[in-house]
Amino acid sequence: MRNHSLNIVPVPTQFHVPINEDAEPLSVATQQQVDAYWQRVNADGKFFRGELFIIDSIHHTNDELVIAMKASDYAHHLYAKSSTLPPQEACTILAPAALIRTKDNYLIFGRMGEHTAKPRMIQCVGGGIDDADVVNGEIDLVGNVQREVLEEVGLSTQMMEHVTSIGPLCLVYPEAYVWVAVIYEINIPMRKDEFVSFFEAHQMRLRRLVMSPN
């Protein structure tokens, strides 16, 4: 089904996210522009130029989806948001995310922090793809979602008292594949009020870790 300029479609049964080790790098001129832009926007050191994986190519039919990925970094991502790059140098993001549903049918979203590129934005729980998600030459999207949900809200998909089910729900993308989100539905056995208490306890644990001496 279509929602304004977005496509929302089921995830095909055959779904693979391989790494393309032979992808073309940025041109020298574009790389220089990326580096110069990074120096300007990160003069105060608030961002981290970490590695990330972006979409190199997409093969999508009713029965199969193959999203080939290639390595890039956060500087390329920020520069691409403020500039118009040719398709072969675009920074097309694949975003695995979790739509968390409580026992009484409330949906849980997160608010981006002030230190991020999109402060205060409301969105599904999720994070970027990096080396930790590469398994046997492919991106482990389920593993990525499991890790992010554990880190951000404290839910372990390995514990039935935390999560009753997890599975792919849908793909969301604009007409030109500027980005692609893979949404996983996670059902939890807690009511909204129970989750709020659980999350507050998780935040308290994180604050203790930050304050603890090494």
Q: What is the domain-level CATH number for residue 114?
A: 3.90.79
Average pLDDT, the chain: 91
Asked if residue 3 has pLDDT above 50, the reply is no
What's the pLDDT at 213? 52
Asked if residue 62 has pLDDT above 50, the reply is yes
Please, how many CA atoms are within 13 Å of residue 141, restricted to the half-sphere of its CB?
26
pLDDT digits (tens, 9 = 90+) for 136-153: 999 999 999 999 999 999
Asked if residue 80 has pLDDT above 80, the reply is yes
Q: What is the largest CA-CA distance in the chain?
A: 54
Neighbours of 196 (CB within 10 A): 14
Q: Confidence band (pLDDT; 50, 70, 90) for 211? A: low
Q: Which two tokens stand for residue 162?
A: 């935390």
**Once rounded to an integer, what is the mean pLDDT over residues 181-208?**
95
Element housing 30 (H / E): helix 28-41
Q: Confidence band (pLDDT; 50, 70, 90) for 2? A: very low
Q: Which two tokens stand for residue 55?
A: 């979409």
Domain ranges, residue 155: 2-211
Alpha carbon of residue 7 to chain centroid: 18
Considering only residues 200 and 207, tell me which one the structure prediction assigns the higher pLDDT: 200
**Once rounded to an integer, what is the mean pLDDT over residues 78-96?**
92
C-alpha to C-alpha distance for 77 and 97, rounded to whole angstroms: 18
Considering only residues 187 and 174, tell me which one the structure prediction assigns the higher pLDDT: 187
Q: How many folded domains does the chain comprise?
A: 1
What's the pLDDT at 117? 66
